[in-house]
Every structure is written in structure tokens, then in C-alpha cells.
Amino acid sequence: MRETDGLIDLRSDTVTKPTPEMRRAMAEAEVGDDVLGDDPTVRQLEELAAARVGKEAALFVPSGIMANLVSLLTLTGRHDEVIVGDQSHIYTSEVGGLSLLGSVFLHVLPNQPDGTIPLERLRGAIRNQVYTPRTRVISLENTHNRCSGAVLPMEYLYAVAEVAKANGVMLHLDGARLFNASVALNVPPEEIAKPFTVVNFCFSKGLGAPVGSIVCGERAFIQEARRTRRMLGGGMRQAGVLASACIVALNTMVERLAEDHALARQLAEGLADISGVQIDPARVQTNIVIFGIDPTTGWDAPRLLERLKAEGILLSLSGTRLRAVTHYGITPRDIDRTLAVLRQILQGRP
Ligand SMILES: *Cc1c(COP(=O)(O)O)cnc(C)c1O
């Protein structure tokens, strides 16, 4: 489906617009005041989402950032710390909100290029002395956005869960793209979610819903999370209009993520053949392609971004590199054109 008249918009999978089926569901959604607990469509979504990831209960929230905040503010208190990777969305892209709002420290450990944090680093970082903050939570990201959409291996998740359990630390998953991981591994989402105390995921990325994320965990935790959401101003009233699109997303948009992954693979392999592009296509496992530009070409990422934009091809920056994200608005021909244009641009000087 062509969403962006003439443009090839690879900036993010958040540019996806609601499908016709979502629009219909939104128009016809049964609604009520969800803050009062009266919205049947939100309740249906929460039950469906909780079941899909094998947790007792769930809470619908406006965004992935609020999902991370609600999850981690509910699990922590003053003097606590959360271990995160230095490439995590929480550390790189959320304005330090957790520390600001919760008096909670971020204990930052380096991510490997595959999105993991080495187990020995995790083990060595956990602390609970009278003179230190207390490590409460380890937060992982799967798929890992800034690590080119890397999928964390299942053995790794279970090994981290062992470390967490042995040290009385809880485990949180920023699963903004949990279903991309599930499809890439061909492992059900509840298997991926199992080792985690709390899991959140987004409907508004590759699943194509206009708005919404969800926090999933034990029933008592979700009751507390409801207070946190209220505090953040994230309680929504007739939110069934939004939740209805998220239900359609869960029911119709998960399996097709494999198509996005195939397009990302096509793009990564094509890029690897272009002189001046720095990429290891083996790193591309899902729908995010991050690549560098050899400075001897005379080009750098920001200038290339502008030049591509002039050709109607939109990418984004990831640090000093370029990022392309595939989604249901992108076709194989779009990828061919992107590769052809890029090849041509890099043959010339800026
Ligand atoms: C997009 C994203 C978020 C935040 O989602 P928003 O809905 O943009 O707030 C959180 N974590 C990861 C890994 C993401 O990719």
C-alpha cells in the first residue's frame, strides 16, 4: 500500500498509517470512560495483549516512552537504579525522564553490537551497599533499535534471568518491537516475555496502529501501574477509539512483519554491494538497517540524507550513520530505487 505519495519514507516504522480495517474498527468502536474503567474496547485490548505475552494483566498507555516510564517508575523508588545499555532507547532517547521523575539512577553498561550486555558485566554491576544505589531492575531491549534491530538470543534472555534471580533483581523488557523479534525467531511472544517481570510493546511501530503501547505484568503490578499512569497524565477517556485499531494490529499485522524483514534484508545486501557503504548485512535480522558512509567518498551521513531527500527518499540519522526502517508502506521496488539512487549518488562527489 502506497502511503506517502511519491515519497519512499524509510525514516521509521512509526510513519505507517492505519489500515482501512483499523479505520473501520475505530469508527465503530464501543467506548466508555477508561479512567473510570468503563471502556469495553480498552479492556478487550488489555486482555488480548496480556494473553498474547503470557502475563496476567495489561495497561494501555499513549506511547512507548510512557510504557517504559510507567513500568520502571512502578518497579522502583528513591535510591534505586536500573541497569540499561548505552545504546538503549531509555538511555539515548527518553530525555532522562526516569531519573528526573523517579529519583532513579540509570546504571549504563555498554551494549555489544548484537544488542546484548555481557553477562559478566551485568553480574559485576549489581550492587546494594549502604553507600551505593540499590540495583532494582535490569532493562533489556528486544529488538534492539540502535543495534540495527538486533534480536536478543533466547539463551541470552534466560541467562540474564538467572543473573537477575540470583541477585534479587527484576527484569524489564522494552519490547517496542517484541513482535519483530517473535517473527524473526519464529518463537511465540510469550516465550520471549516469560523471563521478564514486566514487558511493554508498541502498536504504533510496524504493527501500524496510529497510537498506543501497552505494559504487561502481574495483576497487582498493573494496579500500581495504573496509579503511575494517572500521575503521568496518561489516563485516557474514550480510548477505545484507539484501542480498537490496536486490536486489529494484533490480529492482522503481526505475521506480515516477515515481509518487512525480507525487504530490510534486500536493502542490506544491496547496500553491501555499493562501494562507499559500510555495513555488515549479517547484522540485519529484522526491519532496521543502519549503515555508515566511508569518509573517503567525500560524503557524510547528514549530507547524504539531504541529497536522498531531494530524490524523494527519506532516511534518518542514527548517530553518525544512516538508518532505514522497512514497514508495510514500502515495496520491493522502493528498495530497488533506493539502492539505485544511492549507488548513483555515491559515484559522484558531494
Ligand atoms: C519507539 C521506541 C520507544 C518509544 O516509543 P514512542 O511511542 O515513540 O514513545 C521505546 N523503545 C524503543 C526501543 C523504541 O524503538
- Give the CATH number, domain containing residue 317: 3.90.1150.10
- Quick check: is 189 in a domain? yes
Spatial neighbors of 319 by CB under 8 A, at least 6 apart, are: 146
At 1, the pLDDT band (50, 70, 90 cuts) reads very low
Q: Which of 252, 273, 294 is the last residue of a domain?
A: 252
Cell of 113: 553490537
**Reduced to 3 DSSP states, what percent helix, strand and coil does the chain have, rounded to the nearest 5?**
45, 15, 35
| 64 CB within 6 A, ligand 1 | yes
The whole-angstrom separation of Cα 76 and Cα 260 is 36
Q: State phi, psi for 280 to the nearest 5 degrees.
A: -110, 100
Q: Which domain holds residue 150?
A: 20-252
32-90: pLDDT as tens digits: 999 999 999 999 999 999 999 999 999 999 999 999 999 999 999 999 999 999 999 99
Same domain, 98 and 203: yes
The whole-angstrom separation of Cα 18 and Cα 262 is 22
Q: How many domains does the chain divide into? A: 2
The CA–CA distances, whole Å, from 184 to 12, 16, 179, 181, 266 equal 18, 20, 8, 5, 15
Same domain, 308 and 162: no
Q: For residue 67, how far is its CA from the centre of ligand 1 (angstroms)? A: 9
Q: Which of 234, 252, 270 is the last residue of a domain?
A: 252
| 200 CB within 6 A, ligand 1 | no
Look at the block and give the residue holding cell 547524504: 304
| 141 CB within 6 A, ligand 1 | yes
Q: Are 311 and 341 in contact (CB under 8 A)?
A: yes
Same domain, 208 and 328: no
Protein residue whose Cα sits closest to atom 14 of ligand 1: 176
Q: Are 61 and 222 in contact (CB under 8 A)?
A: no
Residue 2: pLDDT over 90: no
pTM of the model as a whole: 0.96
